[in-house]
Amino acid sequence: MNDDYINDVQPGGIPDGRSFAEKSYTINRPPMQSVPYQMNRPPVQSVPYQMNRPPVQSVPPQMNRLPMQSVPPQMNRPPMQSVPPQMNRPPMQSVPPQMYAPAAQPGMYNQPLPQYNMQPAYQGVSNGYRYYYQPSPEEIEKNKIKKSFTFSGTTTLVLLGAMYLVAIIIMAIGFFSGIVRNTPSTDDPYVGFTPIGFYAYEGLASLLGIFIPALILAKASKVPMNELFPFKKLDGKYLAALVVGGMSVCMIAQLAITILIENLYIFGIDIESALDQETATGLADIVLSTICTAIIPALVEEFAYRGVVLGVLKRHDETFAIFASAFLFGLLHGNFVQIPFAFIIGLVAAFVRVKSDSMLPSILIHFGNNFFAVIMTALPDLVSEEISSFIEAGVMFVFIIAGIFAINYLTKNHKEIFEQKKSNTKYSFGELNKIFFSRATVIVCLVLLTLSSLFVVSAVK
């Protein structure tokens, strides 16, 4: 051991650092001997290629696959024909860049972009290509105005036709049921009915011939109902001033038209006799006449003309709507004799309806005028003719004086009702008249008015 220790010491007397076990393992393990490569694994012998896989025999191509036959190209696909380029697509035209993109200017992005009309996609094309066109704002507005004017004329035609139809049906029912006592004539103010039957006839004609068609037309107008029929809450003094002022204007108009009718005999026309109505002598007749000729017409006619017609026309121009609705309201009465007074009532009722934004004043004015006519018609049978004329003149005078005070009150306290509201359209009053009277429905109304007026004049000569 001492010899081994000494042998393991490095030169200089320093041990090599290995442990005793490592030293013992090194001493006891025999040295590795080289083993020949052939001793552990036998040599690989070459195996012929034919021994593992049989030789591939050449197979003629005709045996597995049919020979390809040449197919003429025109059998599967027709030959391409040359198509002239102008057949499929028209030639593009150069569009100036400023048409769609204006040149940049200082501050232009803070302003609204200008509107340009869209040009046709293709011009000069005759093979069925569609032209694309965007109407200008002026054309769009004009089309809306034309539609509104046509609708207002259509409303008058529908109401006239419905009233005539209802009148014919009621007359037929009355004739076969015995309510009509004799053949209607122009000399008979009850047109063949008994007094009660005549008043019932007028009430039914108004309800069935005006109210129901007007309600259907109101739905067809696509205008909100609160815009067609406004009922704004009004102050009591303001409402009274509007009604009294309107009634005074109607009284003045009635006085002037009465004087005119009484003097038409100069031309050989006796219109006054044609306008005479049978008087309601009893209290029951007066009440029934008030209901059928004052209350019902005031409601249904205001519903139709100060509601439907005026509500549609007012969306374009307020002033023109007042005149146009009053004119159509006059046409509803069917003859030139009643048109002047009906036109004035229509003007007054439309004015107060627009300025007050409520239909209540126009309904009260219409009812007051009709009720005054009922009372003045029945009064000569209750008192003498002199007293009746004195009462009529006194009532008219009182209304005219009261109307002056009412208009003075409105001028001082409600100046806004006499101010003209700015129009919603750029068209002037004269241009709107041209458009209005060029509508086919309005022309038809004028033709019917002329024919019915000629019939009335010929009947009373």
Average pLDDT over residues 71-75: 56
Residues recorded for the chain? 461
User: Above pLDDT 70, what percent of the chain?
Assistant: 61
Give domain status of residue 346, yes or no. yes
> pLDDT band for position 147 (50/70/90)?
very high
> pLDDT band for position 39 (50/70/90)?
low
Give domain status of residue 132, yes or no. no
* Residue in this structure with the two tokens 């509104």, named with its chain if needed: 148
**pLDDT tens digits along 216-251:** 999 999 899 999 999 999 999 999 999 999 999 999
Give domain status of residue 116, yes or no. no
As a whole number of angstroms, the distance between CA 298 and CA 295 comes to 5
Q: Give residue 155's pLDDT.
A: 95
CB 313 within 8 A of CB 439: no
Average pLDDT over residues 366-384: 87
Long-range Cβ contact pairs of 276-279 (< 8 A, separation 24 or more): 276/189, 277/189, 277/377, 278/189, 278/190, 278/195, 278/198, 279/377, 279/378, 279/380, 279/381
Nearest C-alpha neighbor of 293 from the set 212, 378, 351, 383: 378
Give the predicted TM-score (pTM) of the model: 0.69
Q: How many CB atoms lie within 10 A of CB 442?
A: 23
User: Which tokens hold the place of 275?
Assistant: 């306008």
Give domain status of residue 80, yes or no. no
Q: Is the pLDDT of residue 6 over 50?
A: no
Average pLDDT over residues 269-273: 54
Q: Is the pLDDT of residue 192 over 90?
A: no
Average pLDDT over residues 423-438: 91
Nearest C-alpha neighbor of 162 from the set 203, 220, 218, 206: 206
- Mean residue pLDDT of the chain comes to 76
Give domain status of residue 102, yes or no. no
Q: How many Cα atoms within 13 Å fall on the side-chain side of residue 245?
A: 21
Q: Helix 385-413 and helix 236-262: axis angle, to 10°?
A: 130
DSSP state letter for 346: H
Of residues 261 and 395, which shows the higher confidence score?
Answer: 395
Q: Is the pLDDT of residue 357 over 80?
A: yes
Owning domain of residue 327: 142-460
Q: At a CB cut-off of 8 Å and minimum separation 6, what does 308 contact?
A: 155, 214, 217, 218, 221, 228
Average pLDDT over residues 202-218: 91
Domain count, the chain: 1
**pLDDT tens digits along 274-320:** 455 555 566 777 888 889 889 999 999 999 999 999 999 999 999 99
- Helix (H) / strand (E) containing 204: helix 195-206
The CA radius of gyration of the chain, in Å to the nearest whole number, is 52
Give domain status of residue 385, yes or no. yes
As a whole number of angstroms, the distance between CA 361 and CA 93 comes to 63
Q: Give residue 432's pLDDT.
A: 94
As a whole number of angstroms, the distance between CA 368 and CA 224 comes to 29
**pLDDT tens digits along 386-413:** 898 899 889 999 999 999 999 999 999 9
Backbone angles phi, psi at 231, to 5 degrees: -135, 70
Give domain status of residue 126, yes or no. no
**pLDDT tens digits along 78-134:** 666 665 655 556 666 665 555 555 555 555 556 665 555 554 444 444 444 455 567
User: Above pLDDT 90, what percent of the chain?
Assistant: 37
User: Which tokens hold the place of 213?
Assistant: 């068609």
* Residue in this structure with the two tokens 């004086």, named with its chain if needed: 401
Give domain status of residue 439, yes or no. yes
* Strand stretches in 67-114, DSSP E: none
Q: Is the pLDDT of residue 4 over 80?
A: no
Q: Give residue 125's pLDDT.
A: 44
Q: Give residue 409's pLDDT.
A: 94
